[in-house]
Every structure is written in C-alpha cells, then in structure tokens.
A and B are shown apart, each in its own frame.
Chain A
C-alpha cells in the first residue's frame, strides 16, 4: 500500500547529514518557513547518520526518515560511504537520498549517481537561490513523489 505524504497528517521526518552548523541553521530557517510540517533531525557526521538510521548508540527511539539530505564532505565517515551503505542495505535503500553539497565537480556528481543517489544538488551561494532549492526539494520529494510507505 502506498501513500502520498501530503495526505498524511503526521509531520514528515527529514534527516540532515551536515557538519557545517551554518548550513544546518540555514536549512532549519528555510524549512521553518515551509508549508509542510516536518521534523528535522541532524547528524553531524557519517557515523552518527548511520547510527541514527540503524537505531543504535542512543538512537533507539529514532524514527525512520522520509528523506535524507546528505552532504558529501563529512568528518569520520564521508557522505559517499554513507550513501553506499544506505543504498546497499535492504532495510534503508528505499529512503530517498538527496545529495546537497558545495562541490560541482563532475566526478562527485557521477560517483553519487553511480552509488544510486536520488538526486544531486549543488548548494547555491546566493541565499535566495538556496531557499528556492530547499523549497523545491521539499515540494518534489515530500509532496509530488509517490513513495512506498515502508
């Protein structure tokens, strides 16, 4: 049984994997203005992100996120490894992962899609554009797209 998230009265769960507090704060600001009610959880590094997803290390109560926003350059375990682990784990691989990073290098783009990222977005320098980008991610992945429930 599938379900459009829009019809769900429960707030959507978003996992933001990002080490830069500035970006975390910006994302929070943008999501706060958004129309979709959401719960944002932040993992500052790859290890923490995997613990959250697998409900380990103090995250036993963690909810399964509806969307993962993943930076590539992370301390301890970097975003590429996190992406690979999610996409090869039968329990996690259906969660949409949006790579949101500063890099516009061709090899990072190619590598991310090879690892089955759902989409790749370069963080715009301009605040207005950044707001626009996050809004669009939200609209597309949380409103428009139909995803399996579990």
Chain B
C-alpha cells in the first residue's frame, strides 16, 4: 500500500522552470494540471489511510478496554469468593469455639452473642452461595461443605449440653465420641479444595488481564505510528503540490510579461518608424547642403529649403524647372548629355572635385560647389538625388593650408607628423635633407629606423608624459641617417589632438646639431685641457720656487761667509765682486718669493662674504711706518661686504696703497679709497696724487716683473700689480688703472656684492673717514 503511494519518480521530475520555450508553455501547463490531479488523489489517500488507521486503533482500544474491565471484574469476583469463604470458615469456627469455651469454663452461664455469630455464619453462607453460582463445581463443593459445618457446630452445642448435665469431662468425651476431629478435618479439606479452585481461577484471570492490556497498548502505539506515517505522506504530497503551484504561477506570470513586452515592442516599432520618417524629413529639410531630386527628363521634383539662401530660389519655384538653370552657361548645352550618362548607369558618385564645378544663383552669381549624385527609386521611375555643397569657405581654407604646407615644405628644419604608433604621416624636404630618406621612403614606416644604435628605446619615441598630456617635449638625441652616418639632432615633439582630446598624431620638428655638438665638445675639451695646463703650470711654479731656494741659499750663504771671514784680506776688486754676487743672490731670492706669492694668489680659498673694511684696516696697519714717514693723508668711503677672501684682499690693498706711497710726487701723498655699487657689483677705487702712469703703460704694469723705473729710483720686483690682478680675477672681478703721467693714478677693481645686512648697502652720501699720518 505504501509503495503504491510513494513511487512516481517520473512525475516528480521537472517543476518550476519558467524559462521553458514559449511554444511548449501550454503543453507544460497541461502536464502540470495532470500532475495536480494525481497529487490530489495521493493526498486524499494519505489522509484517508490515516483516518482509517486511527478509527481502527480506537475500535481496538475500546474493545480491549472493555475486555480488560471484564477480566478485572472477574478477578475481583474471585478475590471476593476467597474472602467470603474465609469469613464463612471463621464464623463457623467462632460458633464452635464459643461452645468449647463454655465447656472449658465449667459449662456455667449462657453463651454470649451466640445468635449474632450464627447470623453472621448464615449471611456469609448465603453470600458465598450467590458468588459461586456461576461455577457448578464450587456450587457442589459448597453444598457438601454446608452440612459438615452445621453438623460440627451442632456437635459442639450438644457437647456443651452434655457438659452442663454430666460435667466437663462428659462434654468432651461426647464430642470426641461423635467424630469431632474427623469432622473438622473434612471441613478443612473441603475449604482448601474450594480455595484451591478459586486461586487457580485467579491466576488464569490475571494472566488474561495482562495479555489484554499489552495487546491494547501495542495496537494503540502501532496504530498511531501508522497514522502519523500516513499524515506524513500526505504532507509530502501537499508540499509537492504547492511547489508545482508556485512554478505554474511563475510560468503564468512570465507568459503574461512576454505578451506585454511583445505588445510594447510592437508599439515601439510603430513609433520608431514614425520618428524615423520625421527625422529623415527633418534631415533633408535642415541639411546644410542643397538637396534636390531630378527625374530622367532633367526636371527638379523636390528641393529642400536650403535652396533659398544658397541659390536664391524658393524650393517651390524650383520644382518642375530644368536642372540646367543652376548650371553655368558655358556647359548648359552639354549638361543634358552628362545627365543622360548618369541615368544610363545610375550609381552613386561624387562629381570629379578637380573639375572646379560651379553653381549659378538666381541673381546670376556663381560659387564653387561639390556635387554628389545617387539614384533613388520613386513612383516615376529612377530619379537622381543631388546634394550640392557650397565650397567657398573650403576653397579659402584650402589656400591657407597650401600656404602652410609650402612653409613646411620649404623649411630647412625636418618637419614630420607621426601617427601615435610612430609611423610617418608627413615628411617634408627638410626631413629628407637631415635624415637622407625621401618622403616616399619614409611615409608609413616607423621612425625607429632613424634610431642610432644603442638609443632605440629613447630616440624619437615621445615619452609617456607627452602621450598622456598635451605637452611639448624637447630633447637632444642621436639619429642614424640613411647613409649610416650618426648625427646629433635637437627634437621637439608635441601631441596633436582632435576636438575630443584624443591623441591623433605627433608633430616632430628636428634639426641637425652635429656641428654645434662637435664645437661644444671641443670647447669643453679645450677648457679642460686649459685648466689642466694651468694647474700644472702653477704646480710647476710652486715646486720650482721651492727647489730654487735651496741652491740660492748655498750661493748666498757661502758668499756671505766669505765676505765675513775674508773681508779686507782680498783685494778691493774681490770685495766688490762679492758684493755684486751677494746682491744678485738676494734679488733672486726676492724674485723667487714673488713668484711663489704670485702662484699662491691664483689658488687658495673660494670667495665668501667678507668685510672689506677689515682688509683695508689690516693693510693700513702693516703700512703704518711708511705712512708715517711719508706724512700721507688717507681717506676712505665706508667699505661694503664683498665676495672674496680677507687675506687676499688685504694683499691687494697693501700693494695698491704701498704703490701710492712709493710712487709719490713732490707733495705729501693724499690717498682716497672709494666704493661705488652697481647692481650686484662693487667698484672699489684707490686714488692717489702721485707721479701717475703714462697711458702707454696701462696694460704693461699688470704683467709679471714689469717695471717702469730703475731699481735705484724705486725698489721692487714689479710683481705687486700682477698679484693684484691675479687675485681680483680669481674672484671674478676686473682691475684697471686710470692715469696720466704726472697727474696721479686711480686704480679700480670690481668685486661681487656680499650677501649681507643693511649697513653694508651703499649710501649716496660718501661718509669719509680719514687715516692720517701721525
């Protein structure tokens, strides 16, 4: 039974798949409804079985309960039989005992409650008789028992009567003589037998009672389980039905949606067609070009509104007229033949642009046009759809473009445009000159072929930044000409973008800088060489002056030793010769020292900001003696902070002021140190009233060991100004002299302004401080 309900595996397969194709939808719906019916039967069957089972369980329970109650009653009955039998026996015994008690007590007095006891005996007997009515065996047994009991009671009463008459002994003897003891035994046997039967019945009935109880429990339990099972099955089927119901609903909804959509689509299509129609009409009506249709007879059948401002005709005026009214007079005659040629082979075409076609307005003026023709089918056969475009502006733009391209073409710069993939789009004559490739060789080729070996990655390829942003990129690189020569080029690449900002091309302008590069490299090499030889020279001067000192010292020292030790012992000539030699050695030592100073002046510390005032003070201190001797009057402007080195500039002042004191005229020297600022540069001047310098010596005086005067007149080696020049030039300044013989001299030099404070700034009033000789 269960098997037939559950097994329908083929039915329970696909439910709830609304994605089934529409044409199978109704079939699927039918299958579904069939399944609903089958499922309903299953549910009813499930529930029916459950109800039937429950009813059966109820019936069995009812029956078994009754059976149980019945059995229980019988068990109780048996107990009552046993009890009553015991009561009966007790009552009879008590009656006997009373009589015996009286005998033993001397047989005097009356018997207490004898009647009551006997009534009790009778009552128990009657009850027992009723109770054992159903059992014939027991009825028979009771019937046998009753007289025995009565007989014994009677015997005991007789014995009592005997005892009263003849004494106690006679009573007892009477009882024994009349079968007291066997009678008692018989009663006992009969009672036991009856009780035995009843106990047997009791066992039987009790076991039946427990069997009945177990049976009904089993029936109730199993029956309930079965009912639950059937309800379960029913629930499973209900669930399945619900699922199918849901699937069916979804499919129904889906079908409804499909139908709705199809309806909407159709409506849309209709709308689209209407809109398209309107749009095409608008398109033609609002086109910037004149659009005409012309039939094979050359008559205009349609004209769009553009004709009014382009040709001067109302569209309605044109319809029905010959197309030739728009054609220039000179070809009006040949035009019908051309027209016939189109209708002979009606395919879309653009009239040859190089023909320089012109159209005639209503007022007779002409303008350049571009005409395209295409055949269209109409009710009156094939017609030509003519689109006439005004090319006036285009022609002008064309002329401008021609000018631009002429500039590009004639430029000696290499000007090219490149696609974003770096193939050449245009290639001017300049490019050919620079790279050796002609335009026809380069166009469409990647510019990689211009890359110099080892530079492939970088050369010409615009960097990522330039691709990403609209920036110009300029760089220098190397390229390989067609003939294999490697050239240096300066390249400037910029992106070209369309209106939407998309990269469409690159413009690349480049030119050959090989010659410039070579010159630059040569300059660098030469500068380096010069610096090296300068450094060598300085090293040489330094070392040489040191090593020269050694032999010089020997010469000088021993000459002096001779002069000291042998003075007066040689002849006068020898003394004089020795003096000359000593003097020469001394001078040479001076020269070497000067040379050493000069070489030092070209080296030393880098310029820093220093206080020029301090340098001047030190110089004046060191010259204090000379200043005093010459009674010189020295004044100065406040001196600025400048870029230099204090020790070196102290030397400069020492030399310049020392010279001013040395080359003084007849008057006491008057010296002024001035400072003038121009931009970031100071000009310092040292002016004196001395003997001056002839114009022709202006440059000579700054050369090494150049002297203008005899050694006896003015001592010195002539290195001072050379050292000054060297120091000033090392700090990036210039030094020169303004003088005329006999009118004093002004030495000026320039120095960069120091990077400081306000008090060093130039002031227009020249605060003059004096240093005068004591």
Contacts and interface: CB of A to CB of B under 8 A. Distances in A.
A128 interface: yes
B557 interface: yes
Interface string A1-38: 00000000000000000001011001001000000000
Interface string B536-555: 00000000001001101110
Given A22-B558, A26-B557, A29-B561, A125 B549 contact: yes
A127 B557 contact: yes
Contact of B557 (A103, A105, A130): A130
Given A102-B550, A125-B585, A26 B560 contact: no
A126 B590 CA distance: 12
A80 interface: no
Contacts of B546: 102-103, 105
Nearest to B554: A22
Contact of B561 (A102, A123, A125, A127): A127
Q: Which of B561, B585, B589 has the most CB of A within 10 A?
A: B561
A29 B552 CA distance: 19
Q: Which of B546, B552, B589 has the most CB of A within 10 A?
A: B546
B556 interface: yes
A128 B582 CA distance: 12
Contacts of B589: 125
Contact of A127 (B550, B552, B564): B564
B288 to A, nearest CB: 90
Interface of B: 546, 549-550, 552-554, 556-561, 564, 585-586, 589
Contacts of B560: 126-128
Nearest to B543: A105
Given A20-B550, A102-B550, A126 B556 contact: yes
A126 B549 CA distance: 11
A80 to B, nearest CB: 16
B552 A26 contact: no
A130 B556 CA distance: 11
A20 B554 CA distance: 10
B557 to A, nearest CB: 4
11 contacts: A22-B554, A22-B558, A124-B553, A125-B549, A125-B553, A125-B556, A126-B556, A126-B586, A127-B556, A127-B559, A127-B560
Interface residues of A, number: 15
Interface string A99-128: 000110100000000000000000111111
A125 B545 CA distance: 13
Interface in A25-65: 26, 29
Contact of A102 (B553, B558, B559, B586): B553
Contacts of A127: 556-561, 564
Contacts of A128: 560
Contacts of A23: 554
A101 to B, nearest CB: 10
Nearest to B565: A29
B591 to A, nearest CB: 12
Q: Which of B549, B550, B556, B586 has the most CB of A within 10 A?
A: B550
Contacts of A105: 546
Contacts of A125: 549, 552-553, 556-557, 585-586, 589
Contacts of A126: 556-557, 560, 586
Interface string A112-150: 000000000001111110100000000000000000000
B585 A26 contact: no
Contacts of B549: 102, 125
A91 to B, nearest CB: 33
A69 to B, nearest CB: 16
Nearest to A26: B557
Contacts of A22: 554, 557-558
A117 to B, nearest CB: 19
Nearest to A106: B600
A20 B549 CA distance: 13
A29 B557 CA distance: 12
Contact of A26 (B550, B559, B561, B586): B561
A23 B555 CA distance: 11
Nearest to B548: A102
6 closest A-B pairs by beta carbon, nearest first, are A127-B560, A127-B557, A22-B554, A125-B553, A125-B589, A102-B549
A65 B68 CA distance: 149
B653 to A, nearest CB: 22
Nearest to A21: B554
Contacts of A102: 546, 549-550, 553
Contacts of B558: 22, 26, 127
A23 B550 CA distance: 10
B112 to A, nearest CB: 155
Nearest to A108: B546
Contacts of A123: 553
B709 to A, nearest CB: 25
Nearest to A30: B561
Contacts of B556: 125-127
A103 B564 CA distance: 26
A105 B549 CA distance: 12
Q: Which of A23, A127, A128 has the most CB of B within 10 A?
A: A127
B599 to A, nearest CB: 12
Nearest to B590: A125
Contacts of B586: 125-126
A126 B553 CA distance: 7
A112 to B, nearest CB: 15
Nearest to A127: B560
Q: Which of A22, A103, A125, A127 has the most CB of B within 10 A?
A: A125
Given A22-B558, A105-B546, A127-B556, 10 more contacts: A23-B554, A102-B546, A102-B549, A103-B546, A125-B549, A125-B586, A126-B556, A126-B560, A127-B561, A130-B557
Q: Which of B553, B554, B558, B585 has the most CB of A within 10 A?
A: B553
A26 B554 CA distance: 9
A29 to B, nearest CB: 7
Contacts of B550: 20, 102
B400 to A, nearest CB: 75
A71 to B, nearest CB: 10
A125 B336 CA distance: 123
A128 B559 CA distance: 11
B95 to A, nearest CB: 155
A125 B546 CA distance: 12
Q: Which of B554, B557, B586, B589 has the most CB of A within 10 A?
A: B557
A74 to B, nearest CB: 13
A128 B557 CA distance: 8
A124 B553 CA distance: 8
A26 B564 CA distance: 13
Contacts of A26: 557-558, 561
Contacts of A130: 553, 557
A61 to B, nearest CB: 33
A134 to B, nearest CB: 12
A20 B552 CA distance: 13
Nearest to B559: A127
A22 B556 CA distance: 11
Nearest to A105: B546
B558 to A, nearest CB: 7
A20 B546 CA distance: 15
A51 B549 CA distance: 30
B266 to A, nearest CB: 106
A32 B556 CA distance: 20
A23 B561 CA distance: 12
B197 to A, nearest CB: 144
Nearest to A25: B558
Contacts of B553: 102, 123-125, 130
Nearest to B560: A127
Contacts of A103: 546
A36 B559 CA distance: 26
B432 to A, nearest CB: 63
A127 B567 CA distance: 15
A103 B546 CA distance: 7
